[in-house]
């Protein structure tokens, strides 16, 4: 059974060679590899942020805010629908997670529901078919009331949409940082993960994604101040907005809630300086739709102020001196050069659908990452030498074969990891070490077994043969048990545990080939090289 056919030897050597070729680029720097001819593999193992240095930010979307915004929209839409259908109502209010509508005439309820069904939207996709509507419209308990309630599936779809819109916006904003490639992905239902290799200072990044940057232009109520409105009751359709940036002006404004123009209608925004005061400002230009809306509004309101609002805070409230027909303008608001630059980027990239909070941050400086790699290399080298010395000391010539097997094991593990494009992290290195330990153990099991068979009085060749056979059952059992454990870890674990599980799994898969098959082949080569019938001792 020890024999290896020519084809078998050929394929084993081919596997080793292919592994070596794939793993090779990892031994060299990126610059060196880039100069290689096209037919040599160039792909290198991706290092995790803990080894390479970089920033990892986990952001959470505000689900409640998404829900609240949606309910507000539904309220406005429902009002409009009922008004258009000329159905009288005495109130449309948000109660908890639903909208309660009171009709003026209870007997119009059936008709009202039919009209209100227009605000529903179908959810689902072409593959799965339709999954119903995003909103349920039903009769309330009291006569003449109607309940409009977002469905769970609808909310999920909303959150999913908000997540992908956020990712797009973050991508556009982050591109302006101009550094290396970043990955931005959705994680779970309401989280977004940003990974930014090589980024050390996260201050700019955090500032850039820290604001939703929703820009709106509002009509100012000139007949009433914000303070008066708070005392005598806020007129319908208006809302009190705080003012933050502008010094000297009132601290609050009473504005019409429905904006005249919104940030979506911006075609461009650039940082600049005011020609008179030399203060940093933002020059903006509307698209056609926005320009027309703004022109109409300014034409009708010459001499009155309008408010520029960012994230529900009034930036400034200049007075319209003449109609602005060209669709471009200037925003001032006590900016610094830095903040005007940032806001311009944010405005160009579009607003985030909801505020994002940082729930986890991990940043590793490149120097620490490099230190970790250098330490790891040194420790690995010394550990490796220790393993080689111990193995050769304990098992002689066969020990040398085992070390060759170990080398093949390492090369193939790295090659496979490079091939599947997995990321090497610190816990991953731990998985690698356990893999090496298991590979060493496989050889120890085999060789101890061979010695046992020799002590039992078998011939050298028979001992080697049975040694491999018997030990293989044990090796397979122990490796498969560990494999079962690794797969569960991959399935259930979070980031670092997954990295560990991946390298461990690959290590187990390659160790059976490297420590059993390759070593057995080497031993067969050795046996064949011995003069016939003269194998007296086994060098184990």
Partner 1 sequence: MLMKLIPVFKGVDFFPHDLRLPFMKFKGPALAASIILMLISIGLCMTLGLNYGVDFKGGSLVELKTKSGNADMSALREKLNGLGLGSVQIQEFGSPDDVLVRLEEQPGGEAAQQEALKKVTAATENDYVQRRVEVVGPAVSSELRMTGFIAVAAGILAIVAYVWFRFEWQFALGAVIALSHDVLVTAGIFSLFRIEFDLSTVAALLTILGYSVNDTVVVSDRIRENLRKFKKMELNELLNLSINETLSRTILTGVTAVAVLISLYIFGGEVIRSFNLAMLLGVLIGTYSSIFIAAPLLGYLGVKRDWSEAAAKMLSSSTAAKTSAKAKV
Output the smallest distance, CB 426 to partner 1, in A: 6
- 9 is an interface residue for partner 1 by CB under 8 A: no
Choice between 112 and 356, CB closer to partner 1: 356
Count of residues touching partner 1 (by CB under 8 A): 97
Choice between 67 and 256, CB closer to partner 1: 67
Could you tell me which of 163, 172, 218, 167 has the C-alpha nearest to residue 348? 172
CA 366 to the chain's CA centroid:
21
Task: Point out which span in 18-26, 170-178, 511-519, 523-531 binds partner 1 (CB under 8 A).
Answer: 523-531
Residue in 400, 407, 419, 509 binding partner 1, rule: CB under 8 A: 400
Alpha helices, DSSP H, located in 188-287: 203-209, 226-232
Please classify residue 322 by burial: count the beta carbons closer than 10 Å to its beta carbon, then call 0-12 exposed, 13-18 middle and 19+ buried.
exposed
Choice between 9 and 34, CB closer to partner 1: 9
Task: Point out which span in 262-270, 284-292, 328-336, 357-365 binds partner 1 (CB under 8 A).
Answer: 357-365
Q: Is the backbone of residue 262 left (phi > 0), alpha (psi -120 to 50) or beta?
A: beta
- 183 is an interface residue for partner 1 by CB under 8 A: no
Output the smallest distance, CB 187 to partner 1, in A: 11
Spatial distance between the Cα atoms of 221 and 302, rounded to a whole number of angstroms: 14
- Break the chain down into helix, strand, coil percent, rounded to 5: 55, 20, 25
Spatial distance between the Cα atoms of 307 and 256, rounded to a whole number of angstroms: 10
Output the smallest distance, CB 154 to partner 1, in A: 24
Pairing between β-strand 46-47 and β-strand 423-424 as defined by DSSP bridges: parallel
Pattern 415-444, partner 1, x by CB under 8 A: -----------xx-xxx-xx-xxx-xx--x
Choice between 344 and 504, CB closer to partner 1: 504
Choice between 303 and 531, CB closer to partner 1: 531
Pattern 188-207, partner 1, x by CB under 8 A: ------------x-xx--x-
Choice between 70 and 500, CB closer to partner 1: 500
Choice between 226 and 540, CB closer to partner 1: 540
| Footprint of partner 1 on 75-94 (CB under 8 A) | none
Spatial distance between the Cα atoms of 24 and 42, rounded to a whole number of angstroms: 9
Choice between 320 and 433, CB closer to partner 1: 433
| Footprint of partner 1 on 35-74 (CB under 8 A) | 50, 58, 60
Pattern 134-163, partner 1, x by CB under 8 A: ------------------------------
Q: Which two tokens stand for residue 148?
A: 């409009």
Could you tell me which of 307, 347, 352 has the C-alpha nearest to residue 69? 352
Q: What is the DSSP letter of 362?
A: E
Give 38-42's long-range contacts (Cβ < 8 A, gap of 24+).
Answer: 41/418
Pattern 370-399, partner 1, x by CB under 8 A: -xx--xx-xxx-xx--xx--xxxxxxxxxx
Choice between 85 and 394, CB closer to partner 1: 394
Spatial distance between the Cα atoms of 540 and 538, rounded to a whole number of angstroms: 6
Q: Is the backbone of residue 198 left (phi > 0), alpha (psi -120 to 50) or beta?
A: left
Spatial distance between the Cα atoms of 477 and 161, rounded to a whole number of angstroms: 47
Q: Which two tokens stand for residue 184?
A: 């931005």
How many CB atoms are located within 10 Å of the residue 460 CB?
18
Choice between 88 and 383, CB closer to partner 1: 383
Output the smallest distance, CB 478 to partner 1, in A: 4
- 360 is an interface residue for partner 1 by CB under 8 A: yes
Residue in 41, 250, 318, 365 binding partner 1, rule: CB under 8 A: 365
| Footprint of partner 1 on 442-501 (CB under 8 A) | 444-445, 447-448, 451-452, 455, 459, 461-462, 465-466, 469-470, 472-474, 477-478, 480-482, 484-489, 491-494, 496-497, 500-501
How many CB atoms are located within 10 Å of the residue 461 CB?
12
CA 310 to the chain's CA centroid:
27
């Amino acid at each position: 059974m020890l024999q290896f056919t020519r084809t078998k030897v050929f394929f084993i050597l081919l596997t080793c060679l292919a592994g070596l070729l794939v793993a090779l680029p990892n031994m060299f720097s990126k610059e060196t590899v880039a100069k290689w001819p096209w037919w040599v593999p160039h792909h290198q193992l991706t290092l995790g942020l803990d080894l390479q240095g970089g920033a990892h930010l986990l952001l959470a979307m505000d689900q409640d805010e998404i829900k609240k915004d949606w309910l507000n929209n539904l309220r406005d839409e429902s009002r409009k629908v009922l008004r258009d259908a000329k159905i009288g109502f005495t109130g449309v209010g948000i109660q908890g997670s639903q909208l309660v509508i009171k009709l003026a005439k209870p007997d119009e309820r059936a008709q009202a529901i039919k009209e209100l069904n227009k605000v529903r939207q179908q959810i689902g996709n072409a593959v799965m078919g339709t999954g119903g509507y995003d909103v349920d419209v039903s009769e309330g308990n009291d006569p003449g009331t109607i309940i409009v309630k977002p469905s769970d599936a609808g909310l999920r779809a909303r959150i999913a949409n908000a997540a992908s819109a956020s990712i797009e916006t973050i991508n556009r904003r982050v591109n302006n940082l101009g550094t290396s490639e970043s990955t931005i992905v959705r994680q779970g239902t309401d989280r977004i993960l940003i990974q930014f290799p090589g980024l050390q200072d996260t201050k700019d990044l955090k500032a850039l994604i820290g604001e939703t940057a929703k820009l709106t232009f509002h009509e100012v109520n000139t007949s009433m101040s914000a303070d008066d409105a708070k005392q005598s009751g806020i007129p319908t359709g208006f809302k009190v907005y705080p003012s933050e940036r502008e010094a000297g002006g009132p601290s609050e404004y009473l504005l019409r809630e429905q904006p005249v123009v919104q940030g979506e209608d911006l075609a461009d925004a650039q940082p600049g300086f005011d020609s008179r005061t030399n203060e940093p400002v933002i020059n903006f230009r509307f698209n056609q739709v926005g320009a027309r809306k703004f022109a109409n509004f300014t034409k009708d309101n010459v001499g009155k102020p309008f408010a520029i609002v960012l994230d529900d805070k009034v930036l400034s409230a200049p007075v319209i001196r003449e109609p602005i027909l060209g669709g471009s303008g200037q925003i001032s608001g006590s900016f610094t050069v830095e903040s005007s630059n940032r806001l311009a980027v944010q405005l160009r990239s579009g607003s985030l659908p909801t505020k994002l909070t940082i729930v986890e941050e991990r940043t590793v400086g490149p120097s620490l990452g490099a230190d970790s790699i250098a330490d790891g290399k040194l420790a690995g080298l010394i550990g490796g030498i220790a393993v080689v010395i111990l193995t050769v000391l304990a098992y002689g010539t066969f020990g040398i074969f085992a070390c060759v097997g170990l080398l093949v094991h390492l090369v193939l593990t790295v090659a496979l990891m490079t091939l599947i494009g997995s990321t090497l992290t610190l816990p991953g290195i731990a998985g690698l070490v356990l893999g090496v330990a298991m590979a060493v153990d496989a050889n120890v099991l085999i060789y101890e077994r061979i010695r046992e068979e020799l002590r039992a009085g078998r011939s050298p060749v028979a001992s080697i043969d049975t040694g491999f056979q018997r030990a293989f059952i044990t090796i397979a059992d122990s490796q498969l048990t560990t494999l079962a454990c690794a797969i569960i870890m991959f399935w259930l674990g979070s980031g670092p545990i997954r990295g560990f599980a991946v390298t461990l799994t690959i290590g187990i898969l390659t160790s059976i080939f490297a420590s059993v098959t390759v070593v057995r082949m080497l031993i067969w080569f050795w046996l064949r090289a011995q003069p016939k019938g003269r194998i007296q001792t086994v060098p184990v």
